[in-house]
């Protein structure tokens, strides 16, 4: 009963919030490689374009302008340009933002404290009261923009984002996630199109984005071999200029023809992926947003199901209590181990195969406690029973000896 009460208390108060959503990421690099072998080549609507090299904020925007001009010439439909969280709206920055806006294909992404590089607590990131963001130019320049609301971890297979519930610090107006802002232009919707919000779904035109109870939409990593195309850009520090290479470049000294590589971006959403926007992690920010855009268009979302945790906790405690009562301690430990491994494997299988997220962290608690505590309790009880049996035998022995001494000696 104590194990049950303790487990239910943890579940009720979500005391293990920091351990939630971790199991879905177990072995994700290895699982991603297996998925890559099974994945057929598909034409992705959005692709990343990597920019390598350290630069100041104004240099980043200046080089981004050059990349955007090339992409516009190549026929790219939308370019997502993430902005550093500490960018300052000084005249030089505002001028570059205005020039980028005039290209007609750029939407700007504002970073927030919900980025994976932030050292905020999990509870802070999950609280809707903290879903506020500031317009990067402080409204001194009117730009099409959205928020980078993604929450994930390095080498993660699970991503979460907030489709439309962030608010502008200055105006209080809703700020959609940058993925939705990019899709407005990709689908030829006006920038002013309102995203319809309900407690269970957000709607971008006919596209429904399911929301979980915490207000997030959940997406899992999926491999796209069609990312292997296009170009990547590198900053050449000696001349402060950009050099472009095809992503399939062998590195050999040969004449490079970039025409076919640039043609790869025709009609696509391009997410500029600057390695120095934040501490680099895998998957990168650009790769993650490519996945989110694809999930919205093709309805590839993850459904989270944890409504039966309390029932599972009761069943686990009952089953393991019976196992501990009927069998030896080592058997109860083995049953707990098998049950724990089995529920983890099952949750990963459901996630990979059917995009169903079941997080068993609160069910694993009674499994672990029963596996360790109940055998010890049974062993202590058996020891107590043996001690009482020995004591009873000693008392019986003393009684018999006393009777034998009291018997008369035969003549």
CA angle 335, 340, 343 (to 5 degrees): 120
Where b means 16+ CB within 10 Å and e means fewer, 149-166 reads bbbbeeebbbbbbbbbbb
Percentage of the chain surpassing pLDDT 70? 89
In a 10 Å sphere around its CB, with 0-12 CB exposed, 13-18 middle and 19+ buried, how is residue 74 labelled? buried
Q: Is the pLDDT of residue 207 over 80?
A: yes
Distance, in Å, from the CA atom of 163 to the CA atom of 150, rounded to the nearest integer, reads 10
- Which of 267, 288, 280 lies closest to 221 in space, CA to CA? 288
- Tell me the pLDDT band of 382, cut-offs 50, 70 and 90: confident
Task: Tell me the pairing of strands 145-148 and 106-111.
Answer: parallel
* CA 369 distance to own-chain centroid: 28
Highest mean pLDDT among 209-213, 321-325, 332-336: 209-213
310 strand-pairing partners: none
Distance, in Å, from the CA atom of 48 to the CA atom of 55, rounded to the nearest integer, reads 19
The full DSSP string for 222-253 is ---GGGS-SEEEEEETTTTEEEEEETT---SS
The residue with greater pLDDT, 256 or 29, is 29
52 strand-pairing partners: 234
The residue with greater pLDDT, 123 or 48, is 48
What is the per-residue pLDDT for 398? Answer: 84
Distance, in Å, from the CA atom of 335 to the CA atom of 20, rounded to the nearest integer, reads 24
- Tell me the pLDDT band of 115, cut-offs 50, 70 and 90: very low
- For residues 94 and 137, the answer to whether their CB atoms sit within 8 Å is yes
Q: Is the pLDDT of residue 171 over 70?
A: yes
Range in 158-172, 202-216, 235-249, 335-349 the model is least confident about: 235-249
- For residues 176 and 147, the answer to whether their CB atoms sit within 8 Å is yes
- Which of 176, 150, 106 lies closest to 287 in space, CA to CA? 150
Mean pLDDT of the chain: 87
- Give the containing element (helix H, strand E) for 329: helix 329-354
What is the per-residue pLDDT for 90? Answer: 95
Distance, in Å, from the CA atom of 243 to the CA atom of 246, rounded to the nearest integer, reads 10
Range in 25-34, 53-62, 206-215, 318-327 the model is least confident about: 25-34
Q: Is the pLDDT of residue 364 over 90?
A: yes
Q: Which three-class secondary structure state does DSSP give residue 41?
A: coil
pLDDT, average across residues 358-373: 94
- Give the containing element (helix H, strand E) for 344: helix 329-354
Highest mean pLDDT among 174-178, 191-195, 254-258, 286-290: 174-178
- For residues 151 and 216, the answer to whether their CB atoms sit within 8 Å is yes
What is the per-residue pLDDT for 379? Answer: 81
User: What is the chain's length?
Assistant: 411
Q: Which three-class secondary structure state does DSSP give residue 128?
A: helix
Phi, psi dihedrals of residue 172, rounded to the nearest 5°: 80, 0
Task: Tell me the pairing of strands 78-83 and 269-274.
Answer: parallel
pLDDT, average across residues 71-92: 95
pLDDT, average across residues 253-257: 59
HSE-up (13 A, CA, CB side) for residue 374 = 31
């Amino acid at each position: 009963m104590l194990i049950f009460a303790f487990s239910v208390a943890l579940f009720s108060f979500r005391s293990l919030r920091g351990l939630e959503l971790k199991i879905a990421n177990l072995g994700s690099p290895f699982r991603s490689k297996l998925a890559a072998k099974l994945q057929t080549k598909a034409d992705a609507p959005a692709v990343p374009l990597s920019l390598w090299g350290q630069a100041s904020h104004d240099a980043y925007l200046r080089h981004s302008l050059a990349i955007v001009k090339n992409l516009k010439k190549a026929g790219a439909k939308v370019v997502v340009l993430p902005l550093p969280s500490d960018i300052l709206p000084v005249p030089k920055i505002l001028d570059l933002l205005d020039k980028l806006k005039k290209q007609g294909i750029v939407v700007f992404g504002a970073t927030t404290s919900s980025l994976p590089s932030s050292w905020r607590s999990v509870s802070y990131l999950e609280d809707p009261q903290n879903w506020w963001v500031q317009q990067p130019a402080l409204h001194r320049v009117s730009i099409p923009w959205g928020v980078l609301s993604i929450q994930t971890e390095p080498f993660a297979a699970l991503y979460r984002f907030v489709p439309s519930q962030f608010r502008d610090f200055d105006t209080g107006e809703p700020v959609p996630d940058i993925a939705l802002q990019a899709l407005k232009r990709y689908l030829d919707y006006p920038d002013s199109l309102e995203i319809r919000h309900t407690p269970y779904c957000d709607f971008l035109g006919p596209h429904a984005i399911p929301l979980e109870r915490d207000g997030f939409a959940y997406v899992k990593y999926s491999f796209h071999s069609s990312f292997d195309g296009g170009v990547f850009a590198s900053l050449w520090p000696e001349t402060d200029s950009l050099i472009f290479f095809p992503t399939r470049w062998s590195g050999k000294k040969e004449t490079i023809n970039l025409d076919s590589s640039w043609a790869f971006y025709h009609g696509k959403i391009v997410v500029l992926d600057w390695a120095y926007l934040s501490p680099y992690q895998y998957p990168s920010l650009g790769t993650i947003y490519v996945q989110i855009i694809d999930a919205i268009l093709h309805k590839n979302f993850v459904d989270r199901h944890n409504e039966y945790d309390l029932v599972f906790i009761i069943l686990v405690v009952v089953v393991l209590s019976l196992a501990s009562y009927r069998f030896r301690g080592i058997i109860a430990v083995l049953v707990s181990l098998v049950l724990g491994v089995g529920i983890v494997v099952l949750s990963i299988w459901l996630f990979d195969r059917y995009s169903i997220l079941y997080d068993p962290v609160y069910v694993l608690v009674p499994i672990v406690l029963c596996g360790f505590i109940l055998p010890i309790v049974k062993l202590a009880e058996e020891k107590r029973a043996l001690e009482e049996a020995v004591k009873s035998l000693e008392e019986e022995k003393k009684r018999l000896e006393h009777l034998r001494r009291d018997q008369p000696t035969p003549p």
